[in-house]
Structure formats: structure tokens, C-alpha cells
Amino acid sequence: MRLFARTIDVSAHCDLPCGVYDPAQARIEAESVKKIIDKVNDSDDPDMRMRGTIIKEQRSELVKHHLWVLWTDYFKPPHFEKYPHLHQLFNEATKLAGASGTKGSWDAATADELLAKIEEIATIFWETKDASAGGTRA
């Protein structure tokens, strides 16, 4: 009798229940990068600079990773249609976390730019989540 059971169509706009995606992960890592830049720029200790470089590069990679997960796994074609600048925003944000950005620089202004881009992405993210959740944040 199971062979003739009714099927149920289901759909989702992301790979798993949406609670697994959150731009806060990228923001937290970017805030760490900014704090490291500030601390190292205020110090003349070469050991601190060396340790700071390693940690800053690792955290910058994590920022890129978390942004890529949002870009490739959470956001879908309807989101990019509604927000046509979203691809460009992600591209700019990941570059700001990369070798030409916070990963390879001690410029605090670059870290601030990265945080601003992540905030723009977060605003769009929450607009899409609010729309799919009937107007409430999960």
C-alpha cells in the first residue's frame, strides 16, 4: 500500500533550515581583524606584529569563507533579481577580506570598509529572512 501513498511536494529557498546561515559569523571575524589591526598598529613589538599577522590572515580567510557560504548556499536567483547589486557587494566584500584587503594590509580604514560591506549584506539577508518568515526574525 505504501507504493501508492500520496506524495507531498516541498520546497525551500536554502539547503537546510535557515537557522544555519547568519552573516554575524563574518561580522565577528571581521571585528576580530579590525581589533588586531588596531592593537598591532598601536604597538612597536615585533613579536606582537608577527603573531598578529598570522591571526589576522586566518581571520580574514574565515571572513571570506563565511561570506562565500552566504553567497553560494543561502542566496538564490530570486534574491539576486530583487537585489541586483548583491553579486557586486559580495565580490567587493570578499576582496576587502583578501590579499589586497585586510589579509594583506594593516589599514584600519580597509577593515572599516569590510565591516560596512558585511553590514549591507546583513541588511539584505535579514530582509530576505523576514520575508520568508512572515515578517519575523528566526
Could you read off the pLDDT of 108-133 as tens digits, one per residue?
999 999 999 999 999 999 999 877 65
Burial (CB count <10 Å: 0-12, 13-18, 19+), residue 93: buried
Q: Which domains does the chain have, with CATH numbers?
A: 21-132 (1.20.120.400)
pLDDT confidence of residue 123: 97
Cell 589586497: give the residue: 100
Model confidence pLDDT, tens digit, residues 2-61: 566 666 665 555 555 556 789 999 999 999 999 999 999 999 999 999 999 999 999 999
